[in-house]
Every structure is written in C-alpha cells, then in structure tokens.
Amino acid sequence: MSTWPQTAAVLVAVLGAVAAAAAWRLTRTVRRALAVLLDFLTAAALLRLAGQPSWYAVALAAAVVALRGILGPALAGPDRGARGRADSCGRAGR
C-alpha cells in the first residue's frame, strides 16, 4: 500500500473545496461551485483507488462518479443566479 496516492487524494479534495468556494464567490451560483467540487472529488476518489485498491475504494469511486453522472446534466444547464431567470430557451433574462 502506497501512501502518496492517499496524501494526494486528501490534497486534491481540500483543493476542491477551496476551488468550489472560489467558484461560488466569483459566480454566485451553487451550480458552478458544485460542479467544480464534484470534479475534484472524482479525481480524489480515483487517486485513492490507485493507492489502495480495496472494495471500499472501488465503492467510493463508483459513488462519486455516479453522483457526478446523475447531477452532471443538471449542473450543465443554464445559469439562473446573478444574471436573472432563464426563459424556456435557456437564455438569461435581462
């Protein structure tokens, strides 16, 4: 068992939380911040899986990837945050 992938996974997860906070601060949309966080958590789960190939690590990586797959289309939709409401075509209202 190698410890550097474990350390890298924790570091990536912490950086993901910081990046998600920065994304929220810059865009004021939870959707963008959550998308950034899930991307970093996916990377952290895969790093953990590379370092410790156990059933727990496989289940954790699968859960994060499945969550990203389920929420992905919703997170990629039109912004409705600071720019106003989106109409039925996805364009932001002015």
Question: How far is 28 from 23, CA to CA, in rounded Å?
Answer: 8
Does a structural domain hold residue 84?
Answer: no
Asked if residue 81 belongs to a domain, the reply is: no
3 three-class SS: coil
89 lies in a domain?
Answer: no
> How many Cβ atoms sit within 10 Å of the Cβ of residue 3?
9
- Which residue range forms the structural domain that includes residue 21? 4-75
| Better-scored residue on pLDDT, 15 or 1 | 15
The count of domains in the chain is 1
In a domain, 20, yes or no: yes
Q: Per the domain annotation, does 25 fall within a domain? A: yes
Which pLDDT score is estimated for 22?
96
Residue 26 banded pLDDT, cuts 50, 70, 90: very high
